[in-house]
Amino acid sequence: MDIIINILKGILDILISFTGDLGIAIVILTLVIKICLLPLSLKQKKSIEKQQQAPMEIEKIKAKYKNNSRELDKRLQEYSKESMKNLSGCLGMFIQLPIIYALFNVFSNLNISSGSILIPWVSSLGLHDNYFIVPIIYVLTMLAPNLISYIPYFNVKGKAALNKANMISTIFIGLMFTMKTPVALGLYFISSSLFSLIEEIGYRIYSKNKVAA
């Protein structure tokens, strides 16, 4: 883990010297990491999508072979094996965890005394946002990937909108993470969430066009 932390810290130092702004450097580093992890993230989305469709596919198999129990068992076993392969795609999430933890560690241990052009109302990125603008932006970016389900064009089959309980818990967690944490971490969270939003929109457009084709 220390190796990953040192690599990320070195890259961040280079970005700071290049941009002259810690906030911009944090955003760029976060986006670079997210882009590197994009193949795993997309594979995970495809696996989750197939798992969501599993009950429907099983019902189709049962309806098709309802009069042939032997063939039904065979088809269900085959589909079960295929589902297990799809489930392996979700393991990409666990591969991302060490990198995410390392990023969090790097930003948490920064010796910060300067502000950023991105957050002009805060004098130092080592302070928390007394105006709560950063926490509010972060909560909105967290909710956005699910809220786009309410837009008809992005309401892809199998993509459920965020229910009230999940919405409340998302707001609570988002505020808890950013209200009293350094703004530097808030920038990391917001950048990561915005990338996830763009990724989700892109994936839904891809899925919609794929179904239409």
Rounded to the nearest 10 degrees, the angle between the axes of helix 92-108 and helix 38-52 is: 130
Q: DSSP state, 161?
A: P
What's residue 86's pLDDT?
57
For the chain, which residues make up each domain, given as ranges?
Answer: 2-212
Number of residues that make up the chain? 213
Q: How confident is the model at residue 87 (pLDDT cuts 50, 70, 90)?
A: low
pTM (two decimals): 0.79
Q: Worst-scoring range by mean pLDDT, 91-95, 100-104, 188-192?
A: 91-95
What does the alpha-carbon distance between residue 89 and residue 66 come to, in Å, rounded to a whole number?
31
| Residue 158 pLDDT > 60 | no
Residue 166: the pLDDT is: 75
Kindly state the tokens that stand for 50.
Answer: 């197939």
- The pLDDT, as a whole number, for residue 163 is 67
**44 pLDDT exceeds 80?**
no
Single-letter amino acid code for the residue at 30: T
* CA–CA gap between residue 189 and residue 139 (Å, rounded): 10
Task: Give the mean pLDDT of 146-172.
Answer: 71
Cβ atoms of residues 19 and 116 within 8 Å: no
